[in-house]
Structure 1
């Protein structure tokens, strides 16, 4: 039933979002988080992998460790606007949110330390993969002063 819902709502990730990324090899961060569903607001425990500027989630670590594994979802961190704590919004401990221009996703970590570690890792990835100031967009403000 869940697979039909995911197909009907377009939640299945586009293969272009993960092809060529070996998420099973030397990821930047991995671990379990509980994620709130996008349309049906239930909470599901998923295994997350942060690699090459993308946050992938899987049903279990076995799928994430397999070269033939397909993620249940992908968030390109370059699309992320913020990653921050969300205990006050959700009224749940160890909660955090990731905001993109199109949505805000909510997550629960197993502890406050895990939450902070995920926020820091995702925050670093956002900075590393940000499109806001690419090298070719750097403006030399001194050259305009004459």
Structure 2
């Protein structure tokens, strides 16, 4: 067993990084970067592989790649490279790609994604509190059998309910938006006008009849999440 001679405070080092997102989940990181980031946006989060393991999540075109970083004896290792700090790690890979994909795209750390992001003002201008309800048909992907079925959705307060059809009084399920971490357009299902809601236990995939309708659902749902964060 090796003994580390360094007594540097790792916690202070990490807290200085505004792109360190603590225990942000893999799914939530993907949702944030795909929804609000650009090619080269990245963030650091804790990995479930151990207390001294981290993950760098990077947006590469329309996907997010994850890379593990190990901390040991005051240094951060990635592959065969070691860095005295995460800032040095970032500076190195801002100029040298982490990886070249099979399509030839280079993954480079260009834009740190900060923990604190101001809510876009567009939510306030597009959705007023008096209009904070919505209903309509959406096509939803099943949880176990990945087929798609049309369901009637209603949004009221912090609850998104879906029903077998508009005429049914009892919902199939009620989604508590206080547990939702992100809402975004989705391209992974190869369907048009698709978006998703990210929850800890599951990501829900929904499709609207038009791009404008999907955009309207996303804007009002994001506005709801912004109000939840503000404690309203």
Tell me the distance in 2 between the aligned counterparts of 1:134 and 1:109.
Answer: 29
Structure ranking higher on relative contact order (CA contacts 8 Å, 6+ apart): 1
Corresponding position of 1:75: 175
Residue pair 2:132, 2:220 contacting (<8 A) in 1 also: no
Q: How many residues align?
A: 102
TM-score (norm 2): 0.42
Corresponding position of 1:119: 218
Aligned pairs (5 A) from 1:1-146: 28-63=133-168, 69-86=169-186, 88-130=187-229, 134=231
Tell me the distance in 2 between the aligned counterparts of 1:99 and 1:61.
Answer: 25
**RMSD over equivalenced CA pairs, Å:** 1.8
**Gapped regions of structure 1 (runs ≥ 5):** 1-25, 64-68, 136-146
Corresponding position of 1:14: none
Instruction: Give the drift of 1:129.
Output: 2.4
Instruction: Give the drift of 1:91.
Output: 1.2
Name whichever structure is richer in strand by fraction. Answer: 2
1:90-123 Cα deviation digits (max 9, x unpaired): 1111000100111111011000000000001111
Tell me the distance in 1 between the aligned counterparts of 2:164 and 2:222.
Answer: 24
1:8-28 Cα deviation digits (max 9, x unpaired): xxxxxxxxxxxxxxxxxx970
Tell me the distance in 2 between the aligned counterparts of 1:40 and 1:110.
Answer: 22
| Structure 1 residue matching 2:192: 3-state secondary structure | coil
| Stretches of 4+ aligned residues off by more than 3 angstroms | none
**Gapped regions of structure 2 (runs ≥ 5):** 1-130
Tell me the distance in 2 between the aligned counterparts of 1:42 and 1:90.
Answer: 11
TM-score (norm 1): 0.65
Corresponding position of 1:16: none
